[in-house]
Structure 1
Amino acid sequence: MKKKMMAAVLTMAMAVAAMAGCGSNSASNDAATTEKAAADGKVYKVGIVQYVDDASLNQIEKAVEAELDAKAKELGVTFDYKDYTYNGQADSSTLNQIATDLVAEDVDVIIPIATPTAMIMQAATEENQIPVVFSAVSDPVTAGLVESMDKPGSNITGTSDALNTEAVMDLMFAANKDIKKVGLLYNKSQDSSTVPIQDAKDYLDKKGVEYVEKTGTTNDEISLAADALVAAGVDAVFTPTDNTVMTAELAIYEKFVEAGIPHYAGADSFALNGAFCGFGVNYVDLGTATADIVVDILVNGKDPATTAVQTMSNGIATVNTDVASQLGIDYSVFDGMCEKVVEIQTAEEFE
């Protein structure tokens, strides 16, 4: 009996030692864990939360989902996002409820699209530390989402669509060097608009060009603001990556066209919906990069706190050729001023 007991004790001791030996090589352990996850067909629950329906944000969501599907096939895992995808319709109460639901569903990661969504998801995960990987946040530092772009801190990181406002204004004055008055159209409650609007003011002040600010928080208010800019006799209008104006663009662009006023904005989706020119990042690339960060965190164990926020290349001018023709603008002057010029026609969504 004693021999049997001693043998059992020795067997347990050898097992413990073997387990300890495995833990001594963290790099090998991580690699083995990743391979095992792939072999076991592990399922990751991925929450995707969109701020509101608009062409840019829809484009990002589709790109995120397409990349997750591609990576799932490559790695032999499953990213279950279909059961956890929501749209807040620009309503903070709805977004807060979505956050509560995702936490209760114990998702493995949350992907908020746009700044207001990211802020609500961040607040909801402060205690549980569910990783948050945002997309299309123009200024994550000013919004208080991250400590710095290189080292976000806490459980959050993502991708930024920060706008090069000076480049947009350069295009504006290249197309018409005689501009005397510029309209600034935006939602003053959106953090994504704060910095670029100030940058636009600084740019115009240096040029000695007058500007008129009009703001709104709803489609109706944006429509009235557009009417006010037309009445003020502005020569051009600038809007940053502002989701409120984006959702209203299809309803207001004809006002500007009829008045002979080109609308310059911070994303290609504005041009798709009727603005003369959208300048900014490629949102398919942005969504793809966002999904890649998610995969790195879930599958490879990357720490969001030390994963740098990615800022995308920001030099594509998208011109609405229908509107350019009606306004009589020769946009060939844009050649050489940006990464490339893309021609587009008015539509509700990207194909």
Structure 2
Amino acid sequence: MKKNILKRVLTLALAALLTLSLFACGKKNNDSSTSTSGATSYKVGICNYVDDASLNQIVDNIKTQLAAIGQEKGVTFEISYDNCNADSAVLNQIIANFIADKVDLMIGVATPVAVAMQAATEGTDIPVVFAAVSDPVSAGLVESLEAPGANITGTSDYLDTDAILDLIFAANPGAKNIALLYDQGQDSSTTPIKNAKAYLDKKGVSYKEYNGTTTDEISLAVSSIVADKADAVFTPTDNTVMTAELAIYETLAKAGIPHYTGADSFALNGAFLGYGVDYANLGVETANMVSGILLDGNKPATTPVLTFDNGTATINTDICKELGLNYDDLAKTFAPLCTKVQSIVTAENFDDLNK
């Protein structure tokens, strides 16, 4: 009798222990899940340098493409986005916040952001993907475009300066005085301005440099350009001038001076012409690169920097009329020098064109 009672007690105790063990295992499994429905979640920190049409377009397309990839692959990209507005102290704080939040990857839009991210993540395992860095080698971000060599890679909006200047002289073969408008502190302007000087020196055409670091300073520089009666203005992919474009385009147009620039967003904001990469596509390809690193295990150090065809010329037809020029005639003149010639009208953002 005692033996049966003891056997029954042992059986009940063993069953209780087994139940507790199964419950504990199940609880541990649920706690370790990164998200619901078995999906995996990745934290991505995006920092934009300034609020302008080109860079905003890049960010919008990065977000949209990551969302599409996430839906297709059954993963979630938790995006933290911020804009430092060209303030280095704010930029460093944003990056520090990303690190504290333990992001899986950082995206730096424009050269200053990419440089700061690379410095801040040195010695960590956080990969950095940059977007719209005009000269990543000269900026010290990568060893070469083909083999970055560090925990960073990305997309470049390298500018074919000679191609833009060719357009100036195709439209006005007699141009003799070219204004070079840019911010000396912008890394994206250093190489293109150097190349522009070499081009103009070889052609025997006079030029003068005009600089500014704020919208007010750029506006003053434009006043000097008008007073000096420049035949045309050249600006590369300079974020400071891009931010100021809405404040200066009318002054240049009224003076009859065409502004040739390194991105279609300048033309959107009132420049006569923007020549360069498709920033919407650049954003998409940046997101694809992020996906390759996080989902496919690609190593940034061996992932080539992606460059694009700079062959699209975007003409602002509003400014074209004000300058007394004919869009159709210009399109025919520029066609042999470009992959594509397209038109645009003045607006603050690309989304405004669809309203």
Separation in 2 of the partners of 1:159 and 1:109? 15
**Deviation string, structure 1 residues 219-266 (Cα, Å, up to 9, x no partner):** 111111111111111100000000000000000011111110000000
Contact 1:236 1:264 in 2 (8 A): yes
Structure 1 residue aligned with 2:193, among 197, 201, 208?
197
CA distance in 1, matches of 2:296, 2:54: 29
Match of 1:14 in 2: none
Shift of 1:335: 1.6
Which residue of structure 1 lines up, in the alignment, with residue 221 of structure 2? 225
Distance 1:227 1:320 in 2: 21
- Please tell me the root mean square deviation across aligned C-alpha atoms, in Å: 1.4
Partners of 1:37 and 1:299 within 8 A in 2: no
Give the match for residue 40 of structure 2. Answer: 42
Report matched runs for 1:226-265 at 5 Å: 226-265=222-261
Is the 1:38–1:77 contact (alpha carbons within 8 Å) kept by the matching residues of 2?
no
Work out the CA distance in 2 between the residues paired with 1:139 and 1:154: 16
Alignment partners' CA distance in 2, 1:38 and 1:55: 36
Q: What's the CA shift string for 1:98-156, capped at 9, x where partnerless? A: 01110111100001100011111111100213100000000000000111101101110
2:212 maps to which residue?
A: 216
Q: Following TM superposition, by how much is the alpha carbon of 1:200 offset from its aligned partner in structure 2, in angstroms?
A: 0.6
2:322 to 323, 326, 347: 326
Distance in 2 (CA, whole Å) between partners of 1:127 and 1:104 is 15
The structure whose Rg is larger is 2
Tell whether the 8 Å contact from 1:182 to 1:236 is kept in structure 2 after alignment: yes
Partner of 1:336: 336
1:341 is aligned with what amino acid?
Answer: V
Offset at 1:70?
0.6
| Cα distance in 2, alignment partners of residues 297 and 146 from structure 1 | 17
One-letter code aligned to 1:284? A
Paired residues of 1:38 and 1:76 also in contact (CA < 8 A): no
TM-score relative to the length of structure 2:
0.87
Corresponding residue of 2:67: 69
Give the Å deviation of 1:37. Answer: 11
Listed as ranges, the gaps of 5+ residues in structure 2 are: 1-33
CA distance in 2, matches of 1:264, 1:345: 15
Any idea what SS the aligned residue of 1:48 has? Answer: strand
Matched, 1:269 2:265: yes
1:144 is the counterpart of 2:128: no
TM-score, scaled relative to structure 1? 0.88
Partner-residue secondary structure (3-state), 2:155: strand
Equivalent in the alignment of 2:120: 124
8 Å Cα contact 1:154/1:305 also seen in 2: yes
* Structure 1 unpaired stretches of 5+: 1-35
1:98 aligns with 2:90: no
Q: How many angstroms apart in 2 are the aligned matches of 1:226 and 1:40? A: 57
Which residue of the partner structure matches residue 184 of structure 1? 180
Letter in 1 for 2:51: D
Matched-pair contact (CA < 8 Å) for 1:175–1:329: no
Shift of 1:39: 8.1
- Show CA shifts across 1:254-303 (max 9, x none): 11111100000000000000000000000011000000000000001110
State the distance in 2 between where 1:342 and 1:138 align: 23
Count, aligned residues: 314
Give the match's secondary structure for 1:166: helix
Q: Which amino acid aligns with 2:178?
A: V
Which residue number in structure 1 is paired with residue 283 of structure 2?
A: 287
1:54 aligns with 2:52: yes
Most deviating of 223-232 and 257-266: 223-232
Q: Decide whether the 8 Å contact of 1:68 with 1:291 is kept in 2.
A: yes
Q: Distance in 2 between matches of 1:161 and 1:299?
A: 25
2:179 counterpart SS class: strand
Q: Amino acid of the residue matched to residue 171 of structure 2? A: A
Any idea what SS the aligned residue of 2:63 has? helix
Compute the displacement of 1:38 (Å): 12
Identity of aligned residues (%): 59
Amino acid at match of 2:147: K
1:134 and 2:134 aligned = no
d(CA) in 2 for partners of 1:206, 1:325: 32
* C-alpha deviation, 1:336, in angstroms: 2.3
Letter in 1 for 2:348: E
Q: Distance in 2 between matches of 1:98 and 1:77?
A: 25
Contact 1:37 1:77 in 2 (8 A): no
Greater alpha carbon shift after TM alignment, 333-342 vs 137-146: 333-342
Q: Is the 8 A contact 1:267 1:278 kept in 2?
A: yes
Q: CA deviation at 1:328?
A: 1.6
Runs of 4 or more, structure 1, over 4 Å off, are 36-39
Code of the residue aligned with 1:297 in structure 2: it is I
